[in-house]
Chain A
């Protein structure tokens, strides 16, 4: 455990020393782009102002969650791969540390950074909500954050597993695909045509349910009634969170993360490390 912690701390520090400022600066810019106008917005209609501001809080949290996931994907893919290409791995693995411990350390280090990024976003968004007088639904926030944590663990696990056994570019590309493929796979699996259905079913087993954002509606104010009340009625209703479904998705993502990571560890433990 000590060695895993040491490697994780080393990975975390390495990210902080070089990339953290870029990730966090990007997140703050994105947050300001999505929520900035709302901070300064005021209207004669207080209901409309509250609606805009609540949307801004949800959007800001969503942006931070996406940045945290992007960090998990790209940093994890490069994590072990960079140790191999820069050969820093040789003096680490020449010590009494098992390869799986090294990989778990990398997984934890990247996930920790990703969650720290999310944490900063949460603090900033909570401060913004307090400043704007918008209340955050804690139940929704909890499940949304848990989904992000599971997503970060999934992508970091897959990225580290692939990055340790393939190239950094391939690992990043496949991990990014994991964001976009699950919805397509669901559609394929539901398609009755055999050429679509069976590959869809097969892929459905191979792929996790993927990340789903539950941040929309985390802060809510009813929108002002439009001139035509029948227009876009769904836009005026707070999104419903199906908690059991969300929990199942969360656990399934964590399960897939563990399986992918375990498979990556097994390959990494058996592979030759050709360090030139």
Chain B
């Protein structure tokens, strides 16, 4: 994927202007709270993705990149706020420059904008999880299993897989409903055929017996076998249209409807009552109703999402995924509504099936009425059939059902009151028709039988299609779930193994047998961890906050390893191990170095000790780390431990801001003294809290350096190395001169002088102080590479050197 070569930030978040040379290496950014560290992470994240994680998600309502991305003094000039990243694409070996303005986050300038480059950058933009802040790591650890599952699914992009599974499930549900309706249609057409044939079962022999009896009357050959293409009226004259009115059949149809009508009031009463109960429940619980309505609405919206613009309200989102996540979060909140929705739809489908069967009967009678010129009855039946067909549509959706409460209470069939009267009248009319001749009866019997057999065959064909469709969708859904489950189990096994391995690496001193268990089940992901071999417990049960911090980072690393494999080349860790103690941080450095040698971690911390540990553990170097000693709204982060600190102090003095210059100098001295004490192995009086004052550290560092120079001189003398002896003598003399300056001694030791008097100094008074300290600190640096001097090895030093080895003073004398 990518590594960062350099970063240029202007007017973004709390940063006015900042350049970082990241060199594709692991990089540390330290500084006190509020010094701008996270602003750097925000800016890099913005440069890469166009988003700033801290301005989106939970608890960020009202925040936006466009309004809150620029420096607070540049909110009206978002054009001035931009980030320029020089990145290296590891797989294609190209360096690329991305310039992204807050004003137009989705239109970065990319050079070169080659297709392979754009593809990698698009992939990066799709992975906001490269940024991890402390508030985010615990979401993996101290959350309820359902939320952990969501979080981990999001980071692994499993939500997209979930969407496919959900779409397959919805498809099979829709097809199942369609199949139920198709089955009802088959029953309806079967009833019509049996009614006409006057047979109680639809066995082929029964059908043929009834048909052949009429064929015999007409002198037609008997049909021996009922095949799929058998025509029951085959052989009838095709000259002139044979009337299809069959009195006997009409009487049966009318009788069937009359009988059925007696039971219309009670038809599907239980299902109807269940729907009414559910609707009443919704009326009494407006929140549930709103959730249900919203659910239905949001489901439609989610289905229609086809870009970063909301199909429901036209609101533009930063990208499609954010919009999808937002809609899915809304759906997830309404589990009770989901159950109610499912019950409503099941009962609605049952009613729709009944409606289909009733409509089948109505159509038979409608045809008779029409044939008999009963226009009023025909209109009544046509209207009722249309009414029932419209009802069937409403019964299959929640929106439709919510408007049907009154109808369901009053009798969902809405049988026209005039039906019995019309039925009676039509029955009398049919009865009054003289009996058809045997020939005509047989002819119309056969034509009607053929029509109804055709309808039945068509209904069965459609039902078969529906059955196959549902079976296919069901099989596909089940296969997908099975594959998904297997893959997830494998994935979680790998993740839990890596997670345990990483955690053991950090805690090998006391938890060398640590294990963890991730157990997925129905949308949940349980995490249990071994506590000193006493069993598996939730992470928050017994482990300390520091251990939980460690777990969060380890789980994150395990997930990223699973997500990217060898392509995990960049991660931004924003203050993520603040609760881990010093000893375990060394192990953490070791973990990052040994298990992720090819990953560029950009690590921020407010803890100076941790920043120094990263250097001494070899995770970063002086050149791949930066420290902020403070922040002002005018300047942004104040960088310490580099040559620019003197420029900053000079600039402050030029503006007459002595107090700013004094604070910068003091912070710088505090930082450098602590750092040099560590680098040189100085021995100030031990403090258990590690809270050393400048007045304790600086004298100790001076004494240690003088002692080291003494040792170097003795060693040079013993080896007869006169050049080195002379060089050491010069350095020692310079140090003594610089350290002897009155101001240095006074200000370094006396904190009260520092705070009370510096602020009252004028520029002219303060400039010599700055010069004296600049000269003094110069004695601890290499003139060539500007790195701070250090002893090596740390325990029993054998040399005093700089990073480039231009200074490499031997400390070991020749054995006598």
Q: Do A and B bind each other?
A: no
